[in-house]
Amino acid sequence: MESRYLFRKQLTGVLVITAVAGIIRTPTVLATVADDARFETSAFMQKTLYRRPEHVATDIDPSGAESPINIQWDQTHTGRWYIEQQRYGSDAVCAGVAKQDPATLERGVKILRYGSFDCPDTFHSASFFVEAAAHACLLLKASQYADQYASTLEWMKPRIAKAAHWMIEPAVEERGKRSNAPYGHRRFLVAAALGEAGVLCDDPTLIEKSKDYIHEGLTMQDPSGFFPEKGGYDSSYDAVGLFYADRYYDLVADSQTKEPLRKALDKGYGWLASRILPDGTINPEGNTRTGADQEKNRTGAVKGMNYGYTYKGFYRWYLIAGDSKYQQLAEKVFKGEDIYKHQLGRS
C-alpha cells in the first residue's frame, strides 16, 4: 500500500519526513551487511529481543502510527508526535527476518512506511528514524525476503537519501549540533544514520560526512572509557552510544575508521562492563541522566535504564572482538533486566 504522505518541506524550512527504506549496492569499504546479519540473526538475538516476534512493535494503529503518542496525533492531529517512535518498525523487520515470521516483517515495513510530518526536536528525532529505516532496509535487502519487497525497497530508497541530505544542510546541521552538544552518544547515532543511508544509497557524500561525527565522538572519550553526557557519565546512555558505534563498525566503517573506532570501543566496553553488578543489573550510581528520576521520556514517564541496548551492545562487541567475556556479560545483563523490572514493580 502506498504511503499517504511524501517528503516535503514547510515554508519554515523544517523537514517533514516520511518513514522510508532502500536498496543496497556494495560499498567499497571493509564493513559488510553480512557482519550485521550475523548479529541480527544470531541465536542470542533470537532468544532475547526477538524471542516473541509477535510482540515486537505491536502498539500500532491501522494507519501504521506506532506508540500511543503518535497514534493520538494521527487520530486527532493535536498535541505532539515524534518520528523517532516509528523506528521500532526496524525491530519488527529484524525480528521477522531472524525468526522467519512474515507477519512481523510486514508489520515492521508498515510502521516504517507510515507518512509523517513536522515534529518537535526534528533533527534528533530524524536521526533515530533515518538510522532505523536504513538499517532495516540493508538487512531486508540481504535477506531471503529481498525479492518479495523489491518494489517497496525501491520506493523507499530515495526518501532515506532525501532525509539524510536534509540533515546535512548547513543551517539544519548547525541547529542539530547545538542541540546535540551535551550528549556524547548522539555523535554515534548521527554517524550511523548518515553512514548507513550512504551505504544503502551508494552515496559517498553521506559516508564522508558520517566520518566527521565518528571522529568528533572519539575525541570526546574520557580516559576511563565513557563518552560524556551532560558533563558526566551515564551508564545507560553510554550503552546507547556504544551500540550505534558498533553498528557503524559493522555496516559503514572503512579500514582507516575501523582502527581508531575499535580501540575506542574496546575501552568503552571495558568501562561499561565495570558498571554491571554481579546480578546483571546496571549500576546507575553517579549517572547524569538516568537512574535517579533525572529526566523524562517523550511520553512524560521517568527514563529508566536501557537494558536492551546494553546486552545487544555487549553481544555485538563479542562478535567483533571475539572476547567471550562480553558474550557472558550479554547473557548476564539480559537476565538482569528481569531483576530490574521486578525492582520497579513491573513484573
> Would residue 193 count as lying in a domain?
yes
210: in domain: yes
Q: What is the CA radius of gyration of the chain?
A: 19
Calculate the CA dihedral of residues 235, 240, 246, 252 and round it to 10 degrees: -150
Stretch 36-59: mean pLDDT: 96
pLDDT at 30: 61
pLDDT, tens digit (0-9, with 9 covering 90-100), for 223-254: 999 999 999 999 999 999 999 999 999 999 99
Closest CA to 46 of 7, 94, 6, 118: 94
What CATH number does residue 300 fall under? 1.50.10
The answer for residues whose C-beta is within 8 angstroms of residue 64's C-beta and 6 or more apart is 19, 86, 110, 111, 113, 114, 115
pLDDT of residue 227: 98
Mean pLDDT, rounded, of the chain: 89
**Is 248 part of a structural domain of the chain?**
yes
pLDDT at 85 over 60: yes
Integer CA distances (angstroms), 24 to 2, 139, 143, 176, 203, in order = 21, 9, 11, 27, 11
Is 1 domain-assigned? Answer: no
User: HEC profile for the chain?
Assistant: CCCCCCCEECCCCCEECCCCCCCCCCCCCCCCHHHHHHHHCCHHHHHCCCCCHHHCCCCECCCCCECHHHHHHHHHCCCCCCHHHHHHHHHHHHHHHHHCCHHHHHHHHHHHHCCCCCCCCHHHHHHHHHHHHHHHHHHHHCCCCCCCCHHHHHHHHHHHHHHHHHHCCHHHHHHHHHHHCCECHHHHHHHHHHHHHHHHHCCHHHHHHHHHHHHHHHHCCCCCCCCCECCECCHHHHHHHHHHHHHHHHHCCCHHHHHHHHHHHHHHHHHHHCCECCCCCECCCCCCCCCCCCCECCCCCECCCCHHHHHHHHHHHHHHHCCHHHHHHHHHHHHHHHHHHHHCCCC
| pLDDT of the residue at 296 | 87
Q: Check if the beta carbon of residue 317 is closer than 8 Å to that of residue 269.
A: yes
Please give the tally of structural domains in the chain: 1
Has residue 25 got a pLDDT over 90?
no
**pLDDT tens-digit readout, 191-214:** 999 999 999 999 999 999 999 999
Bridging pattern class, strands 15-16 and 8-9: antiparallel
Question: What is the C-alpha separation between 96 and 249, in angstroms, rounded?
Answer: 24
**pLDDT value at position 119?**
54
Q: What is the predicted pLDDT for the residue at 23?
A: 33
What's the grid cell of residue 214?
A: 565518528
User: 213 is in which domain, residue-wise?
Assistant: 15-343
Note the pTM of the prediction, 2 decimals.
0.89
- Do residues 315 and 307 make contact, with C-beta atoms less than 8 angstroms apart? no
**pLDDT of amino acid 201:** 96
**Is 167 a member of any domain?**
yes
Please check whether residue 10 lies inside any domain of the structure: no
User: What does the block give as the cell for 28?
Assistant: 567499497
The per-residue pLDDT for range 137-192, each reduced to its tens digit, is 999 999 999 999 999 999 899 999 999 999 999 999 999 999 999 999 999 999 99
Find all residues with CB under 8 Å of 215, minimum gap 6, and list them. Answer: 260
Structural domain includes residue 156 = yes
21 lies in some domain = yes
Q: How far is CA 127 from CA 177, 196, 339, in A?
A: 12, 11, 32
CA–CA gap between residue 49 and residue 40 (Å, rounded): 10
pLDDT in tens, 298-317: 778 899 999 999 999 999 99
* Alpha-carbon span 105 to 94, nearest angstrom: 7
Single-letter amino acid, residue 46: Q
CA distance 223 to 279: 27
pLDDT score for 343: 86
Query: Higher-confidence residue: 114 or 118?
Result: 114
* The pLDDT of residue 122: 85
The grid cell for 126 is 530524524
Percent of the chain with pLDDT over 90: 77
Give residue 22's pLDDT. 35
